[in-house]
Amino acid sequence: MKITIWSDFVCPFCFIGESHLDKALESFSHAKDVEIEYKSFLLMPDAQYVPGQNYAETFSSMKGVPLEQAEAMLKQVTDMAKNSGVEINYDKAKLTSTYDAHRVFQYAKEQGKGNEFFNRFYAAHFTEGEVLSDTETVVRLAEDVGLDGVQVRKVMESKEHTDQVTNDISEARSVGVQGVPFFVIDNKYAVSGAQPVEVFNQVLDKVWEEEHSKK
């Protein structure tokens, strides 16, 4: 069984939704037969890190909503994350472009480290407050998952893997992705958003049963 996930490192509902998927897989008796592949998606392609601004201020400015409304929205997300067992700390998080980090992610996939890369960058953004557009930061985080820092720096300073990012986003549009996270199971069933663990349990069981009842 293959699960394809379109996601972005700065997407809180991706972080939460994938925690729910992980919990569902813990109780799925065929988890060892599940392959997970991440694909790039740019949730906020125009985001730019503004030193001295906190997350709520940057979000308020980008989205054109009052600061109080932005703060209330972020608190709601933080509470949802806590209930899901993941840590989102908007006092630390830095809103920024993830485009270059996604190019490095494509390199990580080629090295068989794509999934580790994605999970490392979720935590780096939401929990540790790292700036994911900064070259030195991306190199250091990529080295954490065993990637060659020299090669990562080369990717960051070039236009390498641009096509793969573009292709992932184009493919997302072609299969009807309008927001992330977006999960496709065996090219057959789609699950959109941070669905509860029970929804993933049901879909995993249904797809497995359908695929293996044919044999």
- Please give the structure tokens belonging to residue 37: 């592949």
Q: Element (H or E) spanning 68, and its range? A: helix 67-84
For residue 113, what pLDDT is reported?
98
For residue 212, what pLDDT is reported?
85
Low-confidence ranges of the chain (pLDDT < 50): none
- Provide the 8-state DSSP code for 44: S
pLDDT in tens, 90-146: 999 999 999 999 999 999 999 999 999 999 999 999 999 999 999 999 999 999 999
DSSP codes of every residue in 157-208: TS-TTHHHHHHHHHHHHHTT--SS-EEEETTTEEEESS--HHHHHHHHHHHH
For residue 215, what pLDDT is reported?
56
* Rounded Cα–Cα distance for residues 113 and 47 (Å): 26
Contacts of 181 (CB under 8 A, 6+ apart): 5, 6, 7, 11, 13, 14, 17, 18, 192, 193, 194
Closest CA to 185 of 34, 82, 49, 41: 34
Q: Number of helices (H) and strands (E), helices first, in the chain?
A: 9, 4
Check if the beta carbon of residue 89 is closer than 8 Å to that of residue 127: yes
Q: State the helix-helix crossing angle for 114-126 and 12-26, rounded to 10 degrees.
A: 130
- Please give the structure tokens belonging to residue 138: 């991306």
- Provide the 8-state DSSP code for 31: G
Closest CA to 184 of 7, 23, 33: 7
The model's pTM: 0.95
For residue 214, what pLDDT is reported?
64
- List of long-range contacts for 48-53, beta carbons under 8 Å, 24+ apart: 48/96, 48/97, 48/133, 49/94, 49/95, 49/96, 49/97, 49/131, 49/133, 49/134
